[in-house]
Amino acid sequence: MGRCELESGDVALAAIPIRKMTIGIAQTLLLIVDWRIAMPKRTTGHQPELKPVNLGAAAIDVGSRMHMAAVDPACTDVPVRSFGTFTQDLHELADWFKACGVTSVAMESTGVYWIPVYEILEQRGFEVILVNARYAKNVPGRKTDVSDAAWLRQLHSYGLLRGSFRPDAEIATLRAYLRQRERLVEYAAAHIQHMQKALMEMNLQLHHVVSDITGATGMRIIRAIVAGERNPDVLATYRDVRCHSSIETIRAALVGNDRDEHVFALTQSLELYEHATEVIGPKSNYFGPSHP
């Protein structure tokens, strides 16, 4: 085969003699072998050990009936102890930490069981950090015979744990009040749905003729129904002057099929709704302006 018959990409390869190619590859392989021999071998048996950065570290494995606490084994003969969940037990836990020279405590955020432990230890002067359980589980190197509290303390002593955000005591108190109010608002909204369901089961189309059944017109009519009024002509007279629907329209919507069990459900839902709004405060502060 002549050179003119070769592809353009094969011209350079054909110009190199086979013998020189073989020698070049052999020399490259020898250089690689020499380089590998000259490199220092890596050893896995002499890795640098982690040094504790938090000498006063302790940890608690929080539970519903029992808390497991761990301190530095050099401080006591029993570095892992169990404590109850009563307030007296938590103060005994704090006393034990004081006797062992503990300054910082790590614990996992387990449900709501950590809250009294956190608050009492914080009141006793300890630095307390709240740890997400995923962070501790994702750290490799744990031994199978080490308890959760001891492993958490070891990670905390090495500074490998990151605490979750916990606001100051004043902000935490305010947040608790706001969350309680939010729950009450949710309860009240659920009771509104229950009232509307009871009205629908009686085929009273009140929600079609008023914009809000908890407005002035709606609440007057609902209270009258609970009190025993069934005449649609009388119920329509409770219309507020600001309501856009006419008395005739409201009267037609209030002709329904009255059954005692539906009235009973409406009565209870109304009582629960009024209790929730009474506890929350003025309606305009939480549900927006009143609607007719």
Give the torsion through C-alpha atoms of 176, 180, 181, 187, to 10 deg. 160
DSSP 218-233: HHHHHHHHHHT---HH
Percent with pLDDT over 70 in the chain: 75
Range with the poorest average pLDDT among 44-48, 90-94, 105-109, 216-220: 44-48
When comparing pLDDT for 212 and 288, which is higher? 212
Residue-level pLDDT at 167: 82
What is the mean pLDDT of the segment spanning 232-255?
Answer: 92
Q: Of 260, 275, 257, nearest to 190 (Cα)?
A: 275
- State the pLDDT at residue 88: 96
Q: Which residue has the higher pLDDT, 140 or 189?
A: 189
The mean per-residue pLDDT over the stretch 242-246 comes to 91
170: which 2 tokens?
């004043």
Q: Which amino acid is at 158?
A: Y
pLDDT (tens digit per residue) in 62-109: 999 999 999 999 989 999 999 999 999 999 999 999 999 999 999 988
Residue spans per domain, the chain: 57-157, 177-280
pLDDT band at 288, cuts 50/70/90? very low
Whether the model clears a pTM of 0.85, i.e. scores above it, the answer is no
Q: Over 60: is that where the pLDDT of 289 sits?
A: no
Under CATH, which architecture does the 57-157 domain have? 2-Layer Sandwich (3.30)
**18 Cβ contact list (under 8 Å, min separation 6):** none
Q: Which of 11-20, 84-93, 145-154, 240-249 has the lowest mean pLDDT?
A: 11-20
Percent of the chain with pLDDT over 90: 55
